[in-house]
Amino acid sequence: MGRPASKVVRSGLIYLVLLLLTGCGAGTEHIKEADALIDNGSYAEALESLEAAEKSGEDMRLIHRSRGIADMGLSDYGAAVEEFTEALSSNKGYVESMDIDTSYYLAVAQYRMGDVKGANETYSAIIALYPKEADAYYLRGRTYLALLDTDNAKSDFDKAVKLDPGDPDLYVQIFEALSDAGLSDDGQRYLKNAMELNTKLSAFQKGRLYYCMGDYDRAKQNLENAVQNERDPQATLYLGRTYEALGDMNYAASLYRSYLENDPGNAQVMNQLGLCLMNIGDYNAALDVFNKGLELGDPAMDQSLWFNLITAYEYMGDFNRAKTMMQDYLKEYPADEDAVRENEFLATR
């Protein structure tokens, strides 16, 4: 299994990708079975297979690691932290590539359970061992933003792009991180630097950059080209967002619906459709879409879908349900500052 991707992990837009672990050697039949179940999103069943793996005397380090990933899929981040810590503490005194990947998973679990400082320290430990890990600098920069340490965040982002200057996705994700933190002006220079990679950019990458820069006409032109020729699902997502920014919510919604006819399991597009419907004022339809999105069980999108579902109930005036759901949400995502502020507002309703 490779490195995790999530709201705070770089992977093209923030996804939790669970890849099968290979090269485990003999005596890992139950672990391999569990990894396949994790890959399919069957986390509870995976834990049962890992229990069988332990009884069969299979590699405990691999068992702890896979248990941690399954626990993350079930949003049990405290248990995941314990499992990843056990996996790392049993590495026989030397660091392997798997330990670095496990450390990335550990940092994500720490962040999601609200231990932002712990996540920051884990990324620092990765950097101490592998000082050329661009991902670690980028992700530590995200934790610095959450800790309101903007100077160190910008320093880490600059180190990340210095190590990986040819990756346009990295520039965009840094911009989005700074923008989310209210520092979009600081993020603009990263977009300009990415544009200097012009000859290396695909139509989608150009379109996304223009979208982030607010040049929606050029964004639309490039993204329509990407949808037609590159068939990248992210192109449809950003094309829809571009039409939303241009004020054509109905066409944006039609783009998302057309995409979902061919790929009904894409939770990210489902989430964007729900947001679009909320902008139109069709809250009942938005509720239905968010609930369907949550039924997909995509751990990379569950948090956004859940929060937006609560918001839809709030806009409908169902404050009691929104309050109850927000309490449950904050138990799972205590580090979400937007949710904390929203909860304070709901308390007054």
Q: Please tell me the predicted confidence (pLDDT) of residue 198.
A: 72
Most distant pair of Cα atoms in the chain: their distance: 61
Residues of the chain with pLDDT under 70: 1-26, 91-96, 199
Quickly count: other Cβ atoms within 10 Å of residue 165's Cβ. Answer: 14
Q: Residue ranges of the alpha helices (H) in the chain? A: 29-39, 43-55, 60-73, 77-89, 97-112, 116-129, 134-146, 150-163, 168-180, 184-195, 203-213, 216-229, 233-245, 249-262, 267-280, 283-295, 302-315, 319-332, 337-346
Quickly count: other Cβ atoms within 10 Å of residue 46's Cβ. Answer: 28
Name the residue with tokens 């069709």: 282
Q: Please tell me the predicted confidence (pLDDT) of residue 94.
A: 53
pTM (two decimals): 0.77
Q: Please tell me the predicted confidence (pLDDT) of residue 8.
A: 37
* Measured distance CA(34)–CA(22) in Å, rounded: 13
C-alpha distances (whole Å) from 123 to each of 101, 118, 171, 275, 310 are 11, 9, 19, 33, 32
Domains of the chain: 1-114 (1.25.40.10), 278-349 (1.25.40.10)
Q: Give buried/exposed letters for 97-121 (b at 16+ CB in 10 A, else e).
A: ebbbbbbbbbbbbbbbbbbbebbbe
Q: Please tell me the predicted confidence (pLDDT) of residue 281.
A: 93
Q: Please tell me the predicted confidence (pLDDT) of residue 44.
A: 93
The first and second tokens of residue 17, run together, are 């990708």
SS (H, E, C) 248-293: CHHHHHHHHHHHHHHCCCCHHHHHHHHHHHHHHCCHHHHHHHHHHH
Q: Please tell me the predicted confidence (pLDDT) of residue 234.
A: 85
Q: Give buried/exposed letters for 70-80 (b at 16+ CB in 10 A, else e).
A: bbbbebbbebb
